[in-house]
Amino acid sequence: MANALAVIEVENLQKRIRRIIQVTLSGTYTLSETLDLTGVTGNIGAGKFHRNPDVYNVMTPIVAGFAIELTAGAALTNWILTIYRQDGTTGALAVLNTAAYPAGLSGGKVFIELLEKAA
């Protein structure tokens, strides 16, 4: 995994901190990607995670025809990004095989929204 993560927006709500994270896909996909939120660029000051987000959303669930799923981690260091492709003409989805990202995904950007309770 050589994906880059960057905080692109931080919003302080009444009892939550909302962050938009941009994940730039690159390198080789390995059946799922582990995202370490402690290593996010811009993870300082207001952008810094203080606890594990409890509300999350993939804002770009489809990229170049591939479906994107985010699974919450038990800690900031082990969130999981899974990419699915259409399996043949049946329309069923299958996890993308281990390989270099396909042309439509390599360099593609996935935006995720994460909310954590304010301190």
Is it the case that residue 7 has pLDDT exceeding 60? yes
Per-residue pLDDT at 92: 78
What pTM, to 2 d.p., does this model score? Answer: 0.84
- In 3D, which of 105, 29, 111, 21 has the Cα closest to residue 63? 105
Percentage of residues in the chain with pLDDT exceeding 70?
Answer: 89
**How close are the terminal C-alpha atoms of the chain, in Å?**
32
Query: What pLDDT, in 10s, does the model give residues 12-28?
Result: 888 898 999 999 988 88
Domain ranges of the chain: 4-117
Query: What pLDDT, in 10s, does the model give residues 25-63?
Result: 888 888 889 998 887 877 666 567 888 999 999 998 888
Per-residue pLDDT at 82: 93
Per-residue pLDDT at 3: 81
Distance CA 79, CA 96 (A): 18
